[in-house]
Amino acid sequence: MLAVYHSNIMTITDRQGNILERIIKEYINSAQPVGSKLIEEKYDFGVSPATIRSEMQRMTDLGLLYQPHTSAGRIPTDKAYRFFVNNLLEEEVSEFKNIFEVKEIFGQEGDIFKLITDLSKFLAMTSSNLATIHLFKKDFFWKEGWEEILKEPEFEKKDFVFNFTKLLNRFEKDIKDFEINSNIKIYIGNENPFSKIKDFSIISCKCFFPGKEEGIISLIGPKRMAYGKNISLINSIVKVLEDY
């Protein structure tokens, strides 16, 4: 009997979970549908290629993967990303490997606005997503990362850029009215509460900046974002702020 991969949305076998995790990571890195041949050749699951193909078909039937067309590989669905993220959050989040760079930002001279500017630039460059920081008392909303995020392959489509801008405008307008607490919140695709646009993910967390300035740090990007790295990044920044 195989072990199982648990999530509050479903239970799949350990083998299926491992295959799904590899497919998601490959898709995050390449932005290309992932075929069974790549998985067979790159990873050793100790089973036949036919078994891997069969497992991928089962996960397609479960709604975790989909095939853009008959001859293509598989792409993770919103449900797959949620499953992946839930399992990440159940584990102990590792400290961001370049945390010393974050500490250097907080060690520099300057006012809160310089800190916000430097921190948001660092977040954007490190994550390759758009970084935003909202300060409640000052009603200040800062964005960084257009240059980074526009390099992502999804943004080659004009509709994708238009939808992203539309989502960002709605997010900026409604963020102060939305309840985000000190726990990391992750909205994937159709979970997004700010609009009906389903192509993006948002990671947000409330924190307190120097001077007890309450704010929200967010990363916004395509659903194909590096969730593990981004969760670790924001979590580490919040911990540094707690000790500042």
Q: Residue 67, SS3?
A: coil
In the chain the first and final C-alpha atoms are separated, in Å, by 49
Asked if residue 198 has pLDDT above 60, the reply is yes
Q: Taking 50 as the threshold, does the pLDDT of residue 52 lie above it?
A: yes
CATH number, domain with residue 176: 3.30.450.40
Pair of tokens at residue 139? 């009603």
Number of domains within the chain: 2
Are 216 and 104 in the same domain?
yes
pTM of the model: 0.90
State the average pLDDT over residues 39-68.
Answer: 92
Measured distance CA(188)–CA(176) in Å, rounded: 20
Residues 115 and 166 in one domain: yes
State both tokens at 244: 């500042």
pLDDT digits (tens, 9 = 90+) for 208-239: 998 889 999 999 999 999 999 999 999 889 88
Residue 76: pLDDT band by 50, 70, 90 thresholds? very high
Helical spans, DSSP H, in the chain: 14-30, 36-42, 49-61, 78-90, 99-106, 112-127, 146-149, 158-174, 227-243
Residue 6 above 90 pLDDT? no
Indicate if the pLDDT at residue 42 is higher than 50: yes
| Closest C-alpha to 19, from 70, 83, 72, 71 | 83
The mean of the pLDDT values for the chain is 88
